[in-house]
Amino acid sequence: MKKDLTAILSDALEALGMPQGAVIEIEVPREGSFGDISTPLAMGLARSLKKAPKKIAEDIVHAIGDKDIFEKIDIAGPGFINFTFTKRYLHDSLKKLLVSDKSFLRENIGRGKKALIEFVSANPTGPLHIGHARGAAVGNALCNLLVESGYKVEREYYINDAGRQVKLLGLSVFARYQHLLGNDVPLPDDGYRGQYIEDEAVALLAEAGEKYRDVPFDECGEEMTTWTYKRMLSLIKRDLSRFSIKDFDNWVSERELFAKDEVQTAINDLNRKGFIFELENAVWFRSSGFKDDKDRVVIKSNGEFTYFASDIAYHKNKLNRDFDIIIDIWGADHHGYIPRIESVMQAFGYDITGFRVILVQMVNLLKHGEPLQMSKRAGNFVMLSEIMDLVGPDTTKFMFLTRKSDSHLDFDLDVVTATSAENPVYYVQYANARINSILANAKEKGLDTESDPDLSCLTSPEELGLIKKLLSYPMVLESAARSFEPHRITFYLQELAGIFHTYYHNHRVIGEDTGLTRARLSLCYAIRTVLSDALTILGVSAPEKM
RNA sequence: GCGCCUGUAGCUCAGACGGAUAGAGCAACUGCCUUCUAAGCAGUGGGUCAGGGGUUCGAAUCCCUUCAGGCGCGCCA
């Protein structure tokens, strides 16, 4: 739909000698009376051409001339050009949708460009909780979306397996282990306290026996920390796999960066470029020369690297791998970190227009409309695995994609476990299940769904509306991909499901008239194709029966 | 104090790049199951787009400012 119109408009502009190259905006108007598809093109050109928008619109319409795909072309409002398609065009397009592979639904905006998307990257200090899950859902959907939009995507998880947090993890398990042996070793103040720490201590005792009895942490800490965080990492991998997130292509380890001396090398690089200085025994990165409001320490006066130092190395590592787009998906509480990372990239000479941080806001977990208090100290975070026990991965993912990622999201356990209209997941899945049911019914009746039906009998406003909605799907994918906002697909799905439910209620698909029945079955088939395609991109499956 | 984000219907939220009479779901009220799945459909009511100023043919959208909420601002991670 859009491709056809863009080509026609582009030809018209060329014929008129008007400016080319600019993106031709095309939108589906809010109201049906404004036609099927519309462009504000003339208004955009008004300024540079110094002509009235309506006059420009008239010229464009004249240049388009008679095209058999349009029933009419109107100029309306301040200068919109509104196009109404002929039924024949709609039927032909539906036919194409039915017989083509999925490339018919795709806009190749990536053109094979390489994209790196880093997400989740939860510290390997415990199982995933609900906040991580939102990042996982958004990242996974975005990766799928960009793949389908023509990008070559690598999915990456950065493991913070060096530094203080994993050490605290090791120390926490160490303390619990000693408790099991009757030794009164104090838990570190800011240590980890969840039940899983005790579970790990039990597991350690089972595996290593009393090997570490009376061994101080200074001697066994490294060994124990490594043992523990590796177990945490496999716990995380297990949760992700159960959440049906497509496997990560790369697992980048902070320890590896240190082991390969990439951290020191990166700092040396920056030093050569003149962005490093020493002050009060510490080593600083002059980020204030870029986007940051102050300089940042990379090596503390005690000789330790800061967390920021390994992030410098990590982002240099990303840059060296030659991506066209680099996307980091972070929790929104890290937003203050963006300027310094952008500074790092600029210092390495990278044009940061190819870099994008997507922030994922907090999830407010509610029960009976009341917030469920979670505290890291008490270790009573609600884990992703618990959510999946209660809600299931598909519903959880879909709910996380019903909001723009940087807005807060209420996740009400009563709503998401309800099998009612309150729950948007079911609404969409139900449409899919209904269609399956119709198609199964048709098959049972021995109706021929294979050969080429005559679609021209689909003439009701609802049927034509459904076809138009299906044809607008590629535009939704494109805008979602361009803005890196997979939630737009979720909204589209709810709309499509909505008009299908209305249609279903008003018209019987399988009826007396065989020709009409076959055409309607084809329409249903097309709807199911799009529903299932969109759900697949979101990483959500749909049951055949409900 | 400085910076970032948010503020749209009773509630939860869509409204990319400035465009047409600001939309949806839920909640409320009223109807619809002998018919392919009622986890559904139809109807009704509901708005100072937080307030104020500006930019222009045109502002929920851009700029300034005030207010309210969240987050960040460490030789923490």
Q: Is pLDDT of A261 > 80?
A: yes
CA–C1' A19–B19 (A): 20
Mean pLDDT of A409-417: 80
Q: Which residues contact A95 (CB under 8 A, 6 or more apart)?
A: A455
**CA–CA distance, A290 with A296 (Å, rounded to integer):** 12
Task: pLDDT band for A145, please (50, 70, 90 cuts).
Answer: very high
**CATH architecture for residues A424-538:** Orthogonal Bundle (1.10)
pLDDT of the residue at A379: 54
**Residue A212, CB half-sphere, CA atoms under 13 Å: how many?**
30
Q: Give the containing element (helix H, strand E) for A299.
A: strand A296-299
Say yes or no to pLDDT of A441 above 70.
yes
Window from A11-25, A133-147, A467-481 with minimum mean pLDDT: A11-25
C-alpha–C-alpha distance, residues A367 and A412, integer Å: 6
What local confidence, expressed as pLDDT, does residue A352 receive? 85
Could you read off the pLDDT of A499-527 as tens digits, one per residue?
999 999 999 999 989 899 999 999 999 99
**Integer CA distances (angstroms), A400 to A41, A129, A137, A258, A536, in order:** 35, 13, 7, 35, 15
Q: Which nucleotide is nearest to A165 (CA to C1')?
A: B77
> What pLDDT does residue A517 have?
93
Strand B bases contacted by the protein (CB, 7 Å): 2-6, 12-17, 19-27, 35-42, 57-58, 70-77
Band (pLDDT 50/70/90 cuts) for residue A193 is confident
Report the protein residue whose CA lies nearest the C1' of nucleotide B71: A333
Strand-pairing partners, residue A276, are A285
Query: For residues A202 and A180, is the Cβ–Cβ distance under 8 A?
Result: yes
User: Gap from A339 CA to B71 C1', in Å?
Assistant: 15
Contact A339, A292 (CB under 8 A): yes
Strand nucleotide closest to residue A310 (CA to C1'):
B77
At A56, the pLDDT band (50, 70, 90 cuts) reads: confident
Phi and psi of A328, rounded to 5°? -110, 130
Q: CA A30 – C1' B11 distance (Å)?
A: 25
Which contacts qualify for A438-444: CB closer than 8 Å, 24 or more apart? A438/A509, A438/A510, A438/A521, A438/A524, A439/A521, A439/A524, A439/A525, A439/A528, A441/A510, A442/A509, A442/A510, A442/A517, A442/A521
* Closest protein CA to C1' of nucleotide B75, residue: A300
Task: List the domain boundaries for chain A.
Answer: 2-85, 424-538
Residue A375, pLDDT > 70, answer no
- A403: nearest nucleotide, CA–C1' criterion: B13
Please report, rounded to whole angstroms, the spatial distance between the CA atom of protein residue A18 and the C1' atom of nucleotide B23. 35
SS3 A283: strand
Higher pLDDT, A131 or A235: A235
Instruction: Pick out the nucleotide with least CA–C1' distance to A304.
Output: B75
- Render pLDDT for A213-260 as a digit per residue (tens, 0 to 9): 989 998 998 899 999 999 999 999 999 999 999 899 999 999 999 999
Q: Lowest-confidence range among A33-47, A58-72, A518-532?
A: A33-47
Q: What share of chain A is helix, strand, coil (3-state, %, to 5)?
A: 55, 15, 35
Determine the distance between A408 (CA) and B70 (C1') in angstroms: 9
ipTM confidence: 0.92
Nearest nucleotide to A510, CA against C1' atoms: B36
- pLDDT score, position A10: 86
Q: Which residue is nearest to nucleotide B37 (CA to C1')?
A: A434
- Our measurement of CA A407 to C1' B8, in angstroms, reads 14
Strand partners, A155: A117
Is residue A344 within 8 Å of residue A330, measured between CB atoms?
no
Q: What is the pLDDT of residues A334-355, one digit of tens each?
A: 888 988 999 999 999 988 888 9
A537 CA from B6 C1′ (Å): 28
Least confident range from A41-50, A142-151, A213-222: namely A41-50
Judge whether A141 and A401 are in contact, CB under 8 Å: yes
CA distance A277 to A254: 24
Q: For residues A64 and A15, what is the distance between their CA atoms, to the nearest angstrom?
A: 9
Nucleotide showing the shortest C1' distance to residue A359 CA:
B5
pLDDT classification of A121: cutoffs 50, 70, 90: very high
Return the closest nucleotide (C1') to the Cα of A40.
B19
> B52 C1' – A408 CA distance, angstroms?
28
Average pLDDT of chain A is: 89
Residue A153: which residues within 8 A CB-CB, separation 6 or more?
A: A115, A116, A117, A143, A146, A147
How is residue A344 annotated by DSSP?
A: H
- What is the CATH code for A2-85? 3.30.1360.70
State yes or no: pLDDT of A179 exceeds 90. Answer: yes
Give, in Å, how far the C1' of B36 lies from the CA of A442: 8
* Gap from A47 CA to B54 C1', Å: 21
Gap between the Cα atoms of A387 and A383, Å rounded: 7
| Residues A272/A245, Cβ–Cβ less than 8 Å | no
CB A177 within 8 A of CB A201: yes
The pLDDT value recorded for residue A15 is 86
Would you state the pLDDT for residue A21?
A: 58
**pLDDT tops 60 at residue A378:** no
Listed range (A27-31, A69-73, A533-537) with the worst mean pLDDT: A27-31
Question: Mind listing the pLDDT tens digit for each residue in A95-114?
Answer: 999 999 999 999 899 999 99
A418: the nucleotide nearest its CA (via C1') is B39
Which pLDDT value is given to residue A20? 62
- The yes-or-no verdict on residue A445 having pLDDT over 90 is no
Positive or negative, the Cα torsion across A286, A290, A295, A296? negative
Roughly what angle, to the nearest 10 degrees, separates helices A487-506 and A514-538? 160
